[in-house]
Structure 1
Amino acid sequence: MVKVIRSTILPAPVEAVWDVLRDFNGHSAWHPIVTSSQIERGLPSDKVGCIRKFKLEDGSELREQLLALSDADLAYSYCLLETPVPLFNYVSHVRLIPVTDTDHTFWHWEGSFDTLPEKRDAMIDLVGHDIYEAGFNAIRSAMKLEG
């Protein structure tokens, strides 16, 4: 099992960041590789168990399921159901924590997965850089934040 952890601090109140990240179907509005997304069966995007089906800029499609969502903990978890890349048993956790002395947000994003041995380094880079770090930068841009 491979584990990838990335974190950052955003210069914005935790409530403002949570308002953006809480929408499990909202990543097409801010993540640069997601071009469209929809929740299957017309369920609300905060309903645990809902599935989002989305397209990437290269045309590939993925499906992910919301496993947990907590407004009290400012956290959610999801798993990957279908993907064109060799990520197996992928589960991800997102958590926001207030940085109280500056009114900033600490964002922790981690995922664990299995993959083919020869794809290990490429999948670590894909998840850590192309998804997590690109997501951090995209939120900074979407929310017009500096730093």
Structure 2
Amino acid sequence: MAPLEVVWKIVSDFYESYKWFPGMKSCERVEGAPEKGVGSVRRCVTSVQEGNDSFGVEKLIAVDDTNHSYSYRLTDTNMQGFDGYQATIKVCEAKEEGNCLLKWSFELNPAAGHSKEDTEGFLSSAVTAMTKNLEQLASSQ
């Protein structure tokens, strides 16, 4: 992908995920410090289908700059299938020198009418697109 420090600089900005998260149109600070700080809250808007925006309000619950990770919890959304959603993003060294791995783990309780497998499939395809977007951003740094 790219060097760990370059990728961490990009993904660790809690309010700038719209630059690399597929389909995200905006991500704005709702409350908390302008920089990443535990307790900060953001409102992200995504557009999966033209003219059909979704939003998610997410609270930063943990940051570990030393281990290049942070965790956040979805507190409000109009997206179906994301009940109890909590995620951790971690950037790790890869075996190949000058590269890193992005690990995105999550927990969720599928909403009525949505299987966990369908939701996981959707999120898995998002990881593929995220990787491509991050590679492009990192190469321009």
Class of the TM-score when normalised by the shorter of the 2 chains? 0.7 to 0.9
Q: Give me the whole-angstrom Cα distance separating, in 2, the residues matched to 1:37 and 1:101.
A: 32
- Amino acid of the residue matched to residue 75 of structure 1? S
Cα offset for 1:30?
2.1
1:119 to 100, 114, 118: 114
Partner of 2:137: 142
Structure 2 unaligned regions, length at least 5: none
Pick closer, same or farther for the CA change 1:102–1:127 going to 2, 3 Å: same
Structure 1 residue 13 corresponds to structure 2 residue 3 = yes
Cα offset for 1:45?
3.5
Q: Give me the whole-angstrom Cα distance separating, in 1, the residues matched to 2:105 and 2:96.
A: 25
Residue 68 of structure 1 contacts residue 77 of structure 1 at CA under 8 Å; is this kept in 2?
A: yes
What is the TM-score normalised by the length of structure 2? 0.84
Residue 52 of structure 1 contacts residue 65 of structure 1 at CA under 8 Å; is this kept in 2?
A: yes
Please give the residue correspondences for 1:1-147 in structure 2 after superposition, counting only pairs within 5 Å.
Answer: 10=1, 12-41=2-31, 43-57=33-47, 58-84=52-78, 85-99=80-94, 101-116=96-111, 118-120=113-115, 121-130=117-126, 132-144=127-139
Q: Secondary structure in 1 aligned to 2:56?
A: strand
Higher RCO (CA-CA < 8 Å; seq separation 6+): 1
Give the CA RMSD over aligned residues: 1.9
Q: Give me the whole-angstrom Cα distance separating, in 2, the residues matched to 1:91 and 1:42.
A: 19
Residue 51 of structure 1 contacts residue 65 of structure 1 at CA under 8 Å; is this kept in 2?
A: yes
Cα offset for 1:144?
3.4
% identity of equivalent residues: 21
Q: Secondary structure in 2 aligned to 1:127?
A: helix
Q: Secondary structure in 2 aligned to 1:28?
A: helix
Residue 79 of structure 1 contacts residue 91 of structure 1 at CA under 8 Å; is this kept in 2?
A: yes
- Amino acid of the residue matched to residue 78 of structure 1? Y
